[in-house]
């Protein structure tokens, strides 16, 4: 039997299911809708997390499988649902994603979609099917597998052109905007795939659009086959689910990858990649941002060195944040992801081999196991999404929110932690979370430790000023 990284059973898995990744990827395509082939509960789960994280309405159609369809097959439901979806929303693109139930009963969605197209005149609407059983992987695999399937169905043999493809890691809409600005600064004409910068974080408008404006245009995806290069952002993307690898194998578009630009080393690598693709030096503004990051790293090093961090989330994001930690003297004590990823393990071992050999690296894991290792490793700060809140609340570990889902704070969709300036902001947030924890109760603790009620001077021994009359301060809440 396969060895998995659980202390006991899989308790509170450190992941979201594959269709969630499909939903995020599809939202980054212009005028597209998702049809989830499964029960309505799956839709509720996806929409709850997506709306609370992005603070945007999120419509996902459902084939609404019930007992009958589960036994006799859900093809009829799916076809009826697709017809309704086209009539109501008028999308130009539909991604049909499967669920645990659809896969378990052996639904052949590719065949059903083919039949649907043959039986109905759907004009210019593209409908593609992707297999995303919830139990088959995580949000991470669902995201990239969907992108690969979209590229597979939409990209067409095109004469070579000067544009490049940029396959976006699963980062916040704020980070997508930031990376697009960096591409512009280098003068690069790029197809950003997918582009959730506006669809998941739209400006206020009095007009309601059933499908939000924005996303990668269909024609741009079709032309990705003729691009002069593809840059994939993400250091642990397996070839089997990589859209860039598909474009390289099928159409000869050269592929290069770089980590999410978080941290000095990763940002340098990203700048080198953009400079090479643009054929020009790094613009001055980035040199200045880099200098500010270095300055901040020096300013904060005394506090950084006290931090023992737990980092969890998607493998690409965890590996990028781990790099920022390591280069700042923040011990990456526990690095964990719910995805099964040999690439992540290898990359982390390489990163940690110099100074942090004792760090724990876990893939395919759950929060019970993470908690076990975090406590044994003396973790004093956690960097990750809201799914770790039980752990951090229970043990009083200060959290810094990054990734998805963030549904116990506002602004997850606006976070910008990429680039030199974004990395500095992340470092500020990490160090300040440590300081807030360390000094939040500092005076109270000092008074409790050093105050002697019979001290004739009327001052406590920590020199903090006059003490309250009436003996030692027992209640830290009142005392503050
Ligand atoms: S894990 Fe399976 S059943 Fe649960 S929401 Fe995901 S697809 Fe649906």
> If pLDDT is split at 50, 70 and 90, which confidence band does 296 have?
very high
pLDDT at position 449 is 81
pLDDT at position 451 is 75
Query: What atom in ligand 1 is closest to the CA of residue 101?
Result: 3
pLDDT at position 466 is 40
Average pLDDT, rounded, for the chain: 92
Domains in the chain with CATH codes? 18-154 (3.40.50.1980), 164-278 (3.40.50.1980), 284-439 (3.40.50.1980), 442-480 (no CATH)
pLDDT at position 439 is 87
459 pLDDT more than 60: no
Whole-angstrom distance, CA of residue 225 vs CA of residue 365: 37
Cβ of 99 less than 6 Å from ligand 1:
yes
Cβ of 398 less than 6 Å from ligand 1:
no
471 pLDDT more than 80: no
Dihedral sign for Cα atoms in the order 293, 297, 298, 300: positive
23 pLDDT more than 70: yes
Cβ of 58 less than 6 Å from ligand 1:
no
**pLDDT tens figures, 280-293:** 999 999 999 999 99
Task: Give the residue, 6 or 92, on which the prediction is more confident.
Answer: 92
**pLDDT tens figures, 327-379:** 999 999 999 999 999 999 999 999 999 899 999 999 999 999 999 999 999 99
Task: Return the percentage of the chain with pLDDT > 90, whole number.
Answer: 86
**pLDDT tens figures, 54-89:** 999 999 999 999 998 888 999 999 999 999 999 999
Angle at alpha carbon of residue 325, lines to 321 and 327, rounded to 5°? 115
> If pLDDT is split at 50, 70 and 90, which confidence band does 456 have?
low
Stated as kind and residue range, the H or E segment containing 32 is: strand 32-37
Q: What are phi and psi of 164, to 5 degrees?
A: -120, 160
**pLDDT tens figures, 134-148:** 999 999 999 999 999
Cβ of 98 less than 6 Å from ligand 1:
no
Cβ of 45 less than 6 Å from ligand 1:
yes
In 187-314, alpha helices (H)? 218-222, 243-251, 264-278, 284-304
Whose C-alpha lies nearest to ligand 1, atom 3? 100
Whole-angstrom distance, CA of residue 232 vs CA of residue 166: 6
pLDDT at position 467 is 40
What is the pLDDT averaged over residues 206-215?
94
408 pLDDT more than 90: yes
478 pLDDT more than 50: no
Q: What are phi and psi of 295, to 5 degrees?
A: -60, -45
Contacts of 475 (CB under 8 A, 6+ apart): none
Cβ of 14 less than 6 Å from ligand 1:
no
What is the pLDDT averaged over residues 246-272?
98
pLDDT at position 4 is 72
Angle at alpha carbon of residue 432, lines to 404 and 381, rounded to 5°? 55
Q: Which residue has the tokens 């929060």?
A: 367
Whole-angstrom distance, CA of residue 335 vs CA of residue 374: 10
> If pLDDT is split at 50, 70 and 90, which confidence band does 7 have?
confident
102 pLDDT more than 80: yes
123 pLDDT more than 90: yes
Two tokens at 395? 């043990």
pLDDT at position 11 is 77
Residue 16 Cα to ligand 1 middle (Å) = 9
């Amino acid at each position: 039997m396969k060895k998995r990284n659980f202390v006991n059973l899989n308790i509170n898995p450190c992941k979201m299911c594959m269709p969630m990744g499909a939903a995020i990827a599809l939202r980054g395509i212009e005028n597209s809708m998702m049809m989830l082939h499964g029960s309505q509960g799956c839709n509720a789960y996806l929409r709850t997390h997506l709306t609370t994280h992005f603070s945007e309405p999120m419509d996902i159609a459902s084939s609404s499988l019930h007992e009958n369809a589960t036994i006799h097959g859900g093809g009829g439901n799916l076809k009826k649902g697709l017809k309704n979806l086209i009539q109501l929303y008028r999308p130009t693109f539909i991604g049909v994603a499967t669920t645990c139930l659809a896969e378990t009963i052996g639904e052949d969605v590719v065949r059903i979609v083919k039949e649907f197209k043959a039986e109905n005149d759907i004009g210019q609407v593209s409908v593609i099917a992707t297999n995303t059983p919830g139990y088959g992987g995580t949000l991470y695999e669902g995201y990239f597998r969907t992108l690969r399937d979209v590229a597979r169905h939409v990209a067409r043999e095109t004469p070579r052109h000067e544009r490049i493809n940029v396959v976006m890691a699963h980062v916040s809409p704020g980070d997508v905007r930031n990376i697009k600005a960096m591409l512009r600064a280098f003068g690069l004409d790029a197809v950003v795939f997918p582009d959730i910068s506006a669809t998941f974080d739209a400006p206020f408008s009095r007009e309601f659009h059933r499908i939000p404006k924005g996303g990668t245009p269909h024609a741009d995806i079709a032309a990705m086959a003729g691009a002069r290069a593809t840059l994939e952002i993400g250091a642990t993307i397996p070839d089997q689910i990589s859209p860039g690898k598909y474009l390289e194998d099928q159409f000869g578009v050269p592929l290069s990858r770089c980590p999410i630009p978080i941290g000095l080393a990763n940002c340098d690598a990203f700048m080198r990649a953009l400079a090479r693709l643009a054929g020009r030096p790094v613009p001055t503004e980035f040199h200045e941002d880099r200098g500010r990051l270095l300055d901040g790293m020096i300013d904060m090093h005394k506090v950084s060195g006290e931090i023992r961090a737990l980092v969890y989330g998607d493998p690409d994001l965890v590996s990028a944040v781990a790099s920022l930690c390591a280069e700042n003297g923040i011990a990456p004590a526990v690095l964990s992801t719910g995805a099964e990823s040999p690439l992540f393990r290898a990359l982390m071992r390489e990163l940690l081999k110099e100074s942090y050999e004792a760090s724990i690296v876990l893939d395919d894991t759950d929060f019970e196991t993470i908690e076990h290792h975090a406590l044994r490793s003396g973790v004093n700060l956690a960097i990750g999404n809201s799914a770790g809140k039980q752990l951090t609340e229970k043990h009083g570990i200060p959290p810094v929110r990054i990734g998805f889902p963030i549904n116990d704070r506002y602004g997850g969709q606006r976070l910008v932690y990429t680039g030199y300036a974004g990395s500095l902001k992340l470092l500020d947030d990490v160090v300040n979370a440590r300081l807030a924890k360390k000094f939040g109760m500092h005076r109270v603790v000092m008074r409790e430790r050093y105050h002697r009620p019979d001290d004739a001077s009327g001052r406590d021994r920590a020199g903090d000023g006059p003490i309250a009359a009436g003996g030692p301060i027992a209640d830290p809440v009142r005392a503050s």
